[in-house]
Amino acid sequence: MKNQNEIRCMKMALQLDILSSGFVQEMMKTTANLYRLGWDERNGGNISYLLKEEEVAPYLDLNAVIRTIPVKFDASALAGKYFIVTGSGKYFKNVIDAPAVNLGVIRVAQDGKNVELLWGLEGGGVPTSELPAHFMTHIARLAVDPEQRIVIHTHATHLLAMTFTHPLDEKAFTRTLWQMCTECLVVFPEGVGIIPWIVPGTNEIGEATAAKMHDCRLVIWPHHGIYGAGRDMDETFGLIETAEKAAQVYTYVQAQGGVKQTITDRQLKDLADAFGVAPRAGFLEV
């Protein structure tokens, strides 16, 4: 009869290489792309990806907890759920070369006050300092969309710049983005949320972000960056990418002397009808 160590060794031998998993590959490619775009300088930005147990099980022994890490937020609503996250103080540019150092697979403990590290964050690393904000956003989005899985925080350059020059009013900010690129209304018809400037890494910024996430998938952090949420990596990245492109066009338009003509509200309503989306109530004056 085999002892426990022999059984564990047999299980390990049967496990697949986690670096070949779709979720690790997506994290590696996305962090590299965000760094390439200049949106996540130094250790800026963070990503969390909600995983299913059946996705993780082929790669890891789910009973082998490397260490337990406390969380400054009661995440009981996510107890037992698995995530792959970027690490605190880690540089996105390094993820692709050293994923096991810069990423971690965690499971929310049953008490909701800790996470259990199952893989990665080698060398004593811990999850992103924005983990409470990510968890709060996942909870908020799952309440309205059970398929929600991805949260990305990034310092998208032109959106960040707009927060210094454009009124920080959700309706006005959203309408400007919708008017800059035809596809914007179709991609984020619910518009963008905007919170006040709040110290990052705190529960307060997480609570403010999550409150906005009940109604939209993009939340602007003035003078800091943006939070985006979605069902998969492509959707979430594309959501931020589309808003950032509109902000870039706005920057060029302002540099060229300001708006002389634009898409009218009537045209935006026609666009929404053609694509079967519902613009946020009260944002179009038609």
- Which residues contribute to the annotated binding site for Zn(2+)? 153, 155, 224
Q: Could you give the CA distance from residue 271 to residue 260 in angstroms, rounded to a whole number?
A: 21
Task: Please identify which of the residues 6, 54, 55, 130 carries the catalytic annotation.
Answer: 130
Cα dist. 230→15, 112, 121, 186, 191 in Å? 29, 23, 25, 15, 14
Three-class secondary structure of residue 103 per DSSP? strand
Residue among 125, 124, 120, 127 at smallest CA distance from 99: 120
Range list of β-strands (E), 41-161: 46-51, 67-70, 82-86, 103-108, 114-120, 150-154
Residues that constitute the known binding site? 153, 155, 224
Residue among 27, 66, 34, 76 at smallest CA distance from 50: 27
DSSP state at residue 20: G
Is residue 130 annotated as part of the catalytic site, yes or no? yes
CB 127 within 8 A of CB 69: yes
Q: Which residues are catalytic?
A: 130
